[in-house]
Amino acid sequence: MADKRRKLGFETRAIHAGQRPDPTTGAIMTPLYLSSTFAQSEPGKHQGFDYSRSGNPTRLAFETCVADLEGARYGYAMASGCVGATTIVHLLSAGDHVVACDDMYGGTFRLFDKVFARQGIQFSYLDLTDPGALESALQPSTKLLWLETPTNPLLKIMDIAALSDVAHAQGVHVVVDNTFMSPYFQQPLALGADMVLHSTTKYINGHSDLIGGVVITDDDELAEQLGFLANALGGVQSTFDSYLCLRSLKTLAVRMRAHEANALQIARFLEAHPRVDRVVYPGLPSHPQHDLAARQMSGFGGMLAVYLKGDLETARRVLSRVELFTLAESLGGVESLIEHPAIMTHASVDPAQRRAIGIDDTLLRISVGIESVDDLIDDLDRALVAR
């Protein structure tokens, strides 16, 4: 061993962090501790757990492991990504102001715009692909900067380090929704962010069989407040879903590499296809922010967007002809999904705003799975050339 202090590799930590053989039985895998409450030997004296809303050994193993992968000490597993966002915004009080990117996950926007805005939290939404835009949007009451990068569905990239510098100069905390990249390809805390949010529904669980979220920080003070809120609000992840997420983390690295390899091949195939107008994938040199993506991320992920030549009917035809790609919302699972943002995931966005962002009738979003890439390409090619 050249250097004993060398940090263990991502793959090693994904399999071992926060876990050791069960002390009572030696079981290699962290058991499902399906207990709501825990025995105390004297009032207030227990073995670290008293009630499963405040803490559960299975959930803690997952939280410790996923936090470690983001380079942090604290994780709070939630019943969904939306509950994670809800818990974070509860750090604020009425009158506080949040600056958010204008192109974020629709459910997060709905939560801000339709729930928290009614409770007196103020929000400004802006295009933060230019870090210079942030300075003038900050107010004395600004407490939080909310970033999501790359964005959904058009994969715009925001400079986490530059934006965090501007925010921190004004004492503003930075949240990054890292759902699209997972900690394998992007680690926002190392770039300056204070909190990371994941919808574990997507890549972290990766098998499209649960809804979950996690909030991660390495800041002691934020951790104390988030831990309090997780328990007080009570939107914690179930033990069973924590078990599934913990199991999925073990293969996160190999899955992400496979998603990316397939996505890059499919992006190149589509970019050269005569029925395709334009492909948006951060790993293509044609992506307007390819250099920033390459600097900020260690890979480009499994999501891509494609503009077809034609019109809405062309898009409908392609979507009805694919066989391996399932027409469905969501993303990040081992199986490939395809969808039509204007009709499906982004239907609630005002049509004018949709056009302004670039979501038109010929746009398809693809979540590239880890099937044999030749089969995926054949499937897309058949659907594209069919009349």
Ligand X SMILES: *Cc1c(COP(=O)(O)O)cnc(C)c1O
Which residue, 334, 271, 312, is CA-closest to 281? 271
By the 8 A CB rule, do 222 and 189 touch?
no
- Closest-by-Cβ residue to ligand X is 81
Q: Which among 122-130, 176-184, 288-296, 356-364 is the span making contact with ligand X, rule CB under 6 A?
A: 176-184
Q: Which among 75-83, 124-132, 139-147, 307-315 is the span making contact with ligand X, rule CB under 6 A?
A: 75-83
Q: Which among 95-103, 163-171, 172-180, 294-302 is the span making contact with ligand X, rule CB under 6 A?
A: 172-180
Position 134 contacts ligand X (CB under 6 A)? no
Please provide the size of the chain in residues. 387
For ligand X, give the closer residue by CB, 49 or 62. Answer: 62
For ligand X, give the closer residue by CB, 74 or 109. Answer: 109
Q: Which residue has the tokens 């970019």?
A: 271
For residue 105, indicate whether it is catalytic: yes
Minimum separation from the CB atom of position 265 to ligand X (A): 23
For ligand X, give the closer residue by CB, 49 or 300. Answer: 300
Minimum separation from the CB atom of position 177 to ligand X (A): 5
Which DSSP category does 315 fall into?
H
For ligand X, give the closer residue by CB, 86 or 262. Answer: 86
Measure the CA–CA gap between 203 and 364, rounded to whole angstroms: 20
Measure the CA–CA gap between 257 and 252, rounded to whole angstroms: 9
For ligand X, give the closer residue by CB, 97 or 198. Answer: 198
Tell me the two tokens of residue 28.
């290699």
Position 201 contacts ligand X (CB under 6 A)? yes
Position 152 contacts ligand X (CB under 6 A)? yes
Which residue, 213, 217, 195, is CA-closest to 204? 213
Q: Which residue has the tokens 């803690």?
A: 60
Q: Which of 53, 247, 275, 316 is catalytic?
A: 53
Q: Which of 177, 218, 241, 361 is catalytic?
A: 177
Q: Pick from 179, 187, 248, 296: which binds ligand X (CB under 6 A)?
A: 179
Residue 235: C-alpha distances to residues 47, 54, 86, 229, 370 (Å):
23, 10, 9, 9, 32
Position 211 contacts ligand X (CB under 6 A)? yes
Position 345 contacts ligand X (CB under 6 A)? no
Q: Pick from 33, 76, 105, 243: which binds ligand X (CB under 6 A)?
A: 105
Q: Which of 59, 143, 156, 202 is catalytic?
A: 202
Position 80 contacts ligand X (CB under 6 A)? yes
Q: Pick from 31, 55, 71, 107: which binds ligand X (CB under 6 A)?
A: 107
Q: Can you point out the beta strands (E) in the chain?
A: 74-78, 97-101, 122-126, 142-148, 173-177, 195-199, 213-217, 276-280, 303-308, 326-327, 337-339, 363-367
For residue 177, indicate whether it is catalytic: yes
Q: Pick from 90, 143, 173, 202: which binds ligand X (CB under 6 A)?
A: 202
For ligand X, give the closer residue by CB, 49 or 180. Answer: 180
Q: Which among 76-84, 110-118, 266-274, 354-362 is the span making contact with ligand X, rule CB under 6 A?
A: 76-84
Residue 219: C-alpha distances to residues 92, 250, 253 (Å):
17, 25, 26
Which residue, 345, 304, 333, 367, is CA-closest to 109? 345
Which residue, 223, 171, 168, 169, is CA-closest to 195? 223
Residue type for position 248:
S
Position 177 contacts ligand X (CB under 6 A)? yes
For ligand X, give the closer residue by CB, 57 or 213. Answer: 213
Which DSSP category does 97 fall into?
E
Q: How many residues bind ligand X (CB under 6 A)?
A: 16
Minimum separation from the CB atom of position 206 to ligand X (A): 13
For residue 202, indicate whether it is catalytic: yes
Q: Which residues contact 258 (CB under 8 A, 6 or more apart)?
A: 370
Give rounded-to-5 percent helix, strand, coil for the chain.
40, 15, 45
Residues annotated as catalytic are 53, 105, 177, 202
Contact residues for ligand X, defined by CB under 6 A:
80-82, 105, 107-108, 148, 152, 177, 179-180, 199, 201-202, 211, 213
